[in-house]
């Protein structure tokens, strides 16, 4: 069974540009969550999609957006990039409609560097 | 602001030592606590999902306990091996969102 796949693995962008990251969940998983990790910070929750609908959103500015397609693949977009957006972006998929007892499976992440 | 704390921040132990770390979380509105192991250059890997007060879970040499009334979970590693070197994260499920702790970085010296 293929794991969670994130593309690209590495990305360098310039301030002011926008970027789109992709996440393909494990087959059959309908929930995809996105996280940001910056140096010195723990994983910060961005948003979660379930069956093409954004179900939850963290405390990030509107420059961060996402969507989920009918095949459960998800994309995350960051517009007007700032230096502080340089981070490792992880996505995680799970099967559940509720996440209480269901583990999440993480991708290897996309390392975004904004210069 | 919801706080999930982990201690210690980092730990160095000798191969064969047993060790434990702590995850502290708000004791009200508990839904679930997840433990993950994150090795360098790899993806975080789920270790345990804990949902009930008093839960004790075990996987090989690693075990975890949960006390929801006082808001803490312990992760134990018995007979540490170099391959146990990783960052161990706990994640508190608040509503539908996970709030991650900052992690405990474990280094096991051969």
Query: Which pLDDT value is given to residue B97?
Result: 77
Query: A45 — contact with chain B (CB < 8 Å)?
Result: yes
Percentage with pLDDT > 90 across chain B:
77
Q: Between chains, do A4 and B42 touch, taking CB under 8 Å as contact?
A: no
Distance between CA A74 and CA B59 in Å, rounded? Answer: 32
pLDDT tens-digit map of B14-68: 999 999 999 999 988 888 999 999 999 899 999 999 988 888 999 999 999 999 9
Q: To the nearest whole number, what is the mean pLDDT of chain B?
A: 93
For A68, what's the count of Cα atoms within 13 Å in the CB-facing half-sphere? 24
Contact B43 A48 (CB under 8 A): no
In this complex, the residue of B31, B36, B42 whose CB is nearest that of residue A100 is B31
CB A18 within 8 A of CB A78: yes
Tell me the β-bridge partners of A5.
A24
Do residues A110 and A13 make contact, with C-beta atoms less than 8 angstroms apart? no
**Which residue from A minimizes the CA distance to B35?**
A103
Query: Is residue A100 very low, low, confident or very high in pLDDT (cuts 50, 70, 90)?
Result: low
**The token pair that represents B36 in the structure block:** 């993950």
Q: For the segment B75-87, what is each residue's pLDDT rounded down to a tens digit? A: 999 999 999 999 9
**Mean predicted confidence (pLDDT) in A8-19:** 97
Question: What secondary structure, in 3-state letters, does chain B show?
Answer: CCCCEEECCEEEEECCCCEEEEEECCCCCCCEEEEEEECCCCCCEEEEEECCCCCEEEECCEEEEEECCCCEEEEEECCCCHHHCEEEEEEEEECCEEEECCCEEEEEEC
CB-nearest to B49 from A43, A103, A106 is: A103
Does position A101 have pLDDT exceeding 80, yes or no? no
Pairwise CB contact (< 8 Å): B43 & A45: no
For B72, other C-beta atoms within 10 Å of its C-beta total 17
**Is the CB of B102 less than 8 angstroms away from the CB of A42?**
yes
| pLDDT of B7 higher than 70 | yes
Is residue A99's pLDDT more than 70?
no
């Amino acid at each position: 069974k293929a794991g969670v796949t994130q593309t690209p693995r590495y990305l360098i962008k310039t301030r002011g540009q926008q970027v789109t990251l992709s996440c393909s969940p494990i087959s059959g998983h309908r929930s995809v969550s996105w996280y940001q990790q910056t140096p010195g910070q723990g994983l910060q929750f961005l948003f979660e999609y379930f069956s093409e609908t954004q179900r939850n959103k963290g405390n990030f500015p509107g420059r961060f957006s996402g969507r989920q397609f009918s095949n459960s693949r998800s994309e995350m977009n960051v517009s007007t990039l700032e230096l502080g957006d340089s981070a490792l972006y992880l996505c995680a998929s799970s099967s559940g409609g509720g996440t209480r007892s269901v583990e999440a499976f993480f991708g290897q992440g996309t390392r975004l560097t904004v210069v | 602001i919801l706080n999930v704390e982990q201690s210690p921040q980092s730990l160095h132990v000798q191969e064969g030592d047993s060790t434990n770390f702590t995850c502290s979380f708000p004791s009200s509105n508990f839904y679930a606590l997840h433990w993950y192991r994150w090795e360098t250059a790899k993806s975080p890997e789920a270790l345990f999902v804990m949902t009930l007060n008093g839960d004790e879970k075990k996987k090989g040499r690693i075990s975890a306990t949960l006390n929801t009334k006082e808001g803490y979970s312990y992760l134990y590693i018995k007979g540490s091996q170099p391959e146990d070197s990783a960052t161990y994260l706990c994640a508190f499920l608040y509503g539908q969102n996970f709030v991650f702790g900052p992690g405990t970085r474990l280094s096991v010296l051969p």
